[in-house]
Every structure is written in C-alpha cells, then in structure tokens.
Amino acid sequence: MNSPDLLDRVFPGRRSDLKRAILRQALHSFNVTGIEATTIEDIRSECGASVGAIYHHFQSKEGLVAALFYAALDDQERLRDEYLSEAVTVEAGVIALVHSYVDWVDEQPGWAQFVLQARSVVSTGALKDELALRNRQRNKKLFMWMTERGGASELAHIPTELLPSLIIGQSESYSRAWLSKRVENSPKRYRDLLARAAWDSIVKLEPHGE
C-alpha cells in the first residue's frame, strides 16, 4: 500500500476528497503560473469543482494560499518532530533540524517551491497575525527543547527569534537555489555539511554587547 501524500496526511478521510482535489490543483497552478496570475476560475476549470465549493471551503484565493502554506508547515513540523525525537543533545537537535528540513525539501520539491513564493503573500495578508503567532510558538517550542537538553548556557546570548534563521538559513538559501535550478545537486546531498555549518554558527557566535 502506498504511503499517504502530504495532503492525505494533513486532510485525511474521504470527506476531504474534494478539498484535497482543489488544493492539489491550486498547488499546481500556483507553481506553474504564479500566485498572483492564477485565478479561482483557473483552478475551478482544471479540478472540476464549482466556484461555490471553492469559496465554501476556502473563502478566497488568499484562503487557498494559506491552506496550502499551513499544510506544508504542518508537514514540515511533523518530520522535524520525528527527527528531534531521536536527538538527545543540543548538537544532535541542530543536526536533526537541518536534516529534517533538507530531507523534506528533497521529498517535496513542489511544496517547497510553493512555500518559498507564498511566504511573503501570507506574511503580508489578512492571515499575517496567525503566521506571526505560529512562528512565535514554534520558536518558543524549539528554544525550550534545546534548553531542556542543557543548551541554556550555550544559547543564552542568542535571541529566540534569531535561532531558527541561524540553524536553517544556509539550508534554505541553498534549497532556494536548487529549486530554481541554479545548482544541480539536491540539498540532501550536502545535509551533513549544512548541519555542521549550522552548529558552528551557534557555538562560534560571540555574545554581542549592548
């Protein structure tokens, strides 16, 4: 039996069949045509759903973008937590975070491509407050995880909101280049180098005086 895809994991069950069909087509259209250029009619004509059904489930095109964006974030978090569950030190946790990120991008390039173009849309739209809240909660959860594993002294000089960028920033930059075909090799090929660079960016960062 095939393992469930991302939308099957996030929206399981037969009652979500239509919602998944709409979202799959929206993801394809946004990636091929671009978010701004894609219309609700474009999506409707390709997936066979009615305009009423699309608006019933998602209210607007922005609602579709947000539903896809948060589905991707939830799936990323699922894999991240799976990898973190096997880490017992702060260093192992940083490595797990990088590995989970690049492995997810490698496994879900279409979704990763969408996330990169949709982030600015969501962060400046009507749902920007929800995204900001999710980011704060995720950052706090990550900092608490590391603190519980003895990282308080190592991380005390790093602002909580900065920590994810130090860990994932280089991996995200390379992933963006790969997704746009500026480089040939998947970030997964360099997962260990990227993980080491992330750890070094933390342990070698000198506290910044006021």
Could you report the per-residue pLDDT of 71-115, keeping only the tens digit for each?
999 999 999 999 998 998 888 999 999 999 999 999 999 999 999
pLDDT value of residue 3? 45
- What's the longest Cα–Cα distance across the chain? 59
181: tokens are 């075909």
Q: What confidence tier does 207 reach under pLDDT thresholds 50, 70, 90?
A: low
Tell me which amino acid residue 31 is: N
What six digits make up the tokens of 76? 């990323």
**At how many degrees (to 10) do helices 90-107 and 191-203 cross?**
140
DSSP reduced 3-state for 98: helix
Q: Encode 111-145: b = buried (16+ Cβ within 10 Å), e = exposed.
A: bbbbbebbeebbeebebeeebeeeeeeebeebbeb
Does 50 have pLDDT greater than 60?
A: yes
pLDDT at 208: 54
Q: Where does residue 148 rank: exposed (0-12), middle (13-18), buried (19+ CB within 10 A)?
A: exposed
pLDDT of 210 > 60? The answer is: no
Tens digit of pLDDT for each residue in 111-165?
999 999 898 888 887 777 887 888 778 877 777 787 777 666 667 677 777 888 8
C-alpha to C-alpha distance for 75 and 81, rounded to whole angstroms: 10
pLDDT at 55 over 50: yes
Q: In percent, how much of the chain has pLDDT > 90? A: 44
Residue type, 91: E
Domain boundaries, the chain: 6-203
Closest CA to 64 of 104, 110, 29, 15: 29
Which CATH number fits the domain 6-203, given the four candidates 1.10.357.10, 1.20.950.20, 3.10.20.880, 3.10.450.50?
A: 1.10.357.10
Q: Which two tokens stand for residue 63?
A: 């609602």
**Which residue would you say has higher pLDDT here, 6 or 150?**
6
Q: What is the mean pLDDT of residues 46-53?
A: 80
Nearest by Cα to 41 from 26, 27, 31, 28: 26
Around 64, how many Cα atoms within 13 Å sit in the side-chain half-sphere?
Answer: 29
Q: Which residues, 6+ apart, have CB-to-CB distance to 197 below 8 Å?
A: 170
